[in-house]
Amino acid sequence: MRSLNSAILIVLAAALIDVIGFGIVMPVLPKLITELGHLDLADATRVSGWMLAVFAITQFFAGPVMGNLGDRYGRRPVLIGCMAAFAIDYTVMALSPTLGWLFLGRAIAGITGATFGPIGAVIADVTPPEKRAKNFGLMTAIFGLGFIIGPAVGGLVAAFGPRAPFWCAAGLAAANAVIMTVFLPETLALENRRPFRLRDSHVIGAFKPLFAAGNATPLLVAWFLWQLGGIVYPTTWAFWCKLRFGWDERAIGLSLAWVGLLQLIIQMLLTGRIVKRTGEWGAAVLGLTASAVTLLAYVFATQGWEVYAFFIVGAFGAVAWPALNGILSGMVDATRQGALQGGIGSMNSVAQVLGPIIAAQALAIGATSGFDGGAFLVAGGLIGVAALIVGFGLPHIKAAHGRQSEAQPQAH
């Protein structure tokens, strides 16, 4: 039991290092893309959107494969391999002489970037269903902490050039692989492993147990719309801050660190209390609504300090991920947690293909016409619809979930 509990700590530490590595490079992407492509900021925004789309397309196909490999061979070898490949990816990006090499680096990251699927599966392996939302909340808190440290460090390291943060990220990923090799125990019991079948290693195969469990479709649609809107942050934030407020890399890094700090506070101090008081369903509605309201508020921001104020509300969006993931993971048995998390990752990848294109084009078109808030207007609308789906569909979805929960003990 002690080794299984330590597994949560190790994978959370691994996730932290991963997010720090991702956050480090965010403040310098606008400068690096404009320099390598000889582009202005509006055109660089479009290129950034396509770059994220390449990452998402490759991850769409790789995510379910990684999840199913984890269900067959265990979580440990998959996670170690992913981290080693990330180190290679950031090294390639650090050395990129052209935009084409940056795109290649993103493709590599997409293929092996399903780390949060296996990490989520580890948490599901060792956590009873009634506590999963809380532990998934810790995973979201790690996102917050990583986005405090990563962008802040990236903004400072950028003083040594736009490639320096990529070298830092490569070193962190390599250290992550070593740490997991030495300390991470395997969490998937031999009796819970199942054969790997390539024909099941896709998003529809991953979600088969959910479709059999009851009316999970509204939850999946809401999740997709939420991810589609939420991708506006990594796609356009740095570019939007430059366009609207004229911020430099340091200011962008600090704003992202503020986002991470508030999310960390919410996850560490309030998520458990919110889920206990409102349940996973109520917490999901609260998180989605807070995200939508904040994104729409950005449309009207005229001063930089308003961004900091608005995200005090937006930080409550962090409770949506553990709440929705806890609900969905409770609908499948122990043999398919990896497939589920891989399927969720694959669905996220579809959002990450479409989302960056939509958000980047909305920002670029608006910037040329004098209205640069279009990306946040679209994103806020999408997440608002997700909140309505979960809120108004709650009784029917919850009834189906309840029937599945009663049936699960009999299956074991």
Task: Convert the pLDDT of each residue in 303-321 to its tens digit.
Answer: 989 999 999 999 899 888 8
Which whole number is the average pLDDT over 245-250?
A: 85
**Angle of the 203-213 helix axis to the 394-411 helix axis, nearest 10:** 90
The chain-wide mean pLDDT, for the chain, equals 78
Residue 380 and residue 363: Cα distance in Å, rounded? 14
Is the pLDDT reported for residue 206 higher than 80? no
The pTM assigned to this predicted structure is 0.62
Task: Say which residue, 390 or 211, is predicted with more confidence.
Answer: 390
Residue 3 phi, psi dihedral angles, 5° rounding? -65, -35
Q: How do residues 365-410 score in pLDDT, each as one tens digit?
A: 766 777 788 889 999 999 999 999 888 866 555 554 554 444 444 3
What is the pLDDT, as a whole number, of residue 383?
Answer: 95
What is the pLDDT, as a whole number, of residue 388?
Answer: 92
Q: Which of 131-145, 227-241, 384-398 has the highest mean pLDDT?
A: 227-241
Which whole number is the average pLDDT over 138-152?
A: 73
Task: Say which residue, 103 or 340, is predicted with more confidence.
Answer: 103
Is the pLDDT reported for residue 411 higher than 50? no
What is the pLDDT, as a whole number, of residue 405?
Answer: 44
Domains of the chain by range and CATH? 2-185+202-411 (1.20.1250.20)
- Compute CA distances 14 → 8, 179, 326, 343, 358, whole Å: 10, 8, 21, 21, 31
Please return the burial class of 4, using the count of CB atoms within 10 Å of its CB with bins 0-12, 13-18 and 19+: middle
Count other Cβ atoms within 10 Å, centred on residue 233. Answer: 21
Closest CA to 327 of 225, 227, 226, 223: 223
- pLDDT above 90 coverage of the chain, percent: 10
Q: Which of 287-291, 328-332, 373-377 has the highest mean pLDDT?
A: 287-291
What is the pLDDT, as a whole number, of residue 404?
Answer: 44
Helices (H), 158-231: 164-183, 203-213, 217-230
